[in-house]
């Protein structure tokens, strides 16, 4: 006897921009599914490929290390893949579909492609459906706010302007925290095949000079808010089906 699949899926969680062993351990203990390391030298959260590999070796089975690149050379990306077992790449610059595919060794390695969504009402003009089609070889499309430089800068774009139906797995990022992630999940999950969330500055220690330094309590609060969203979404789905 077979049973129908569940009406909802557990929202996967990535904690990004980690630089310290204790933060990696705290994110894993809280229940993160993926840990992100920024391999972009201009970022205040930058770690070298060697350091990323060292930190990734702390991860238990089935927690994925994610290596974030911005307009990096194919040679360096392939080398970083090789040094970090089981890594997924995240391309956050101007990489074309062909460049992503080549750096991922013709699909031998998984990767995520970031889409930079303009802030304010102009976000509605971003053709996410076409972007997802252009990068259909990516494991997922990560949605981040388009701000000067690369990365969301802790800012949130207008989720309500996203297309109602995107044929892709999406990762919601950009200005997320425990205070708004539940609303983000409820707004975006119905629009895509599946949804994950990605947080960095929203779980960091407050104050200048603390980028890359995570706050353990904020990590736990963020994970709890995601799980609360899952329960709320499951309830709403049940109400719709009944």
Catalytic residues: 16, 144
H helical segments located in 31-145? 49-56, 74-83, 97-103, 128-134
Measured between alpha carbons, how far is 64 from 35 in angstroms, rounded to an integer? 6
Using an 8 Å Cβ cutoff, are 5 and 189 in contact? no
At 134, which helix (H) or strand (E)? helix 128-134
Query: Per DSSP, what are the bridge partners of residue 68?
Result: 38, 90
Q: Is 77 exposed, middle or buried (0-12, 13-18, 19+ CB in 10 A)?
A: buried
């Amino acid at each position: 006897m077979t049973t129908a699949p569940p009406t909802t899926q557990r929202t996967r969680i990535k904690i990004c921009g980690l630089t310290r062993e204790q933060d990696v351990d705290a994110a894993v203990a809280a229940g993160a599914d993926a840990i992100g390391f920024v391999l972009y030298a201009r970022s205040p959260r930058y770690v070298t490929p060697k350091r990323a590999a060292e930190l990734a070796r702390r991860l238990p089975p089935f927690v994925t290390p994610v290596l974030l690149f911005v307009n990096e050379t194919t040679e360096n990306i392939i080398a970083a893949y090789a040094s970090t077992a089981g890594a997924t790449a995240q391309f956050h610059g101007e990489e074309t579909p062909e460049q992503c595919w080549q750096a991922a060794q013709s699909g031998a390695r998984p990767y995520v492609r970031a889409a930079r969504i303009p802030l304010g009402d102009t976000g509605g003009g971003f053709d996410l459906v076409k972007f997802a089609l252009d990068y259909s070889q990516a494991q997922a499309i990560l949605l981040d706010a388009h701000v000067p430089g690369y990365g969301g800068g802790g800012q949130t774009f207008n989720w309500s302007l996203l297309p109602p139906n995107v044929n892709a797995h999406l990762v919601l990022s950009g200005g997320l925290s425990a205070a708004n992630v539940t609303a983000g999940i409820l707004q975006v999950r119905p629009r895509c095949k599946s949804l994950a969330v990605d947080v960095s500055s929203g779980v960091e220690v407050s104050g200048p000079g603390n980028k890359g330094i995570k706050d353990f309590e904020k990590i736990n609060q963020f994970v709890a808010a995601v799980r609360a969203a899952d329960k709320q979404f499951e309830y709403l789905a049940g109400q719709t089906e009944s």
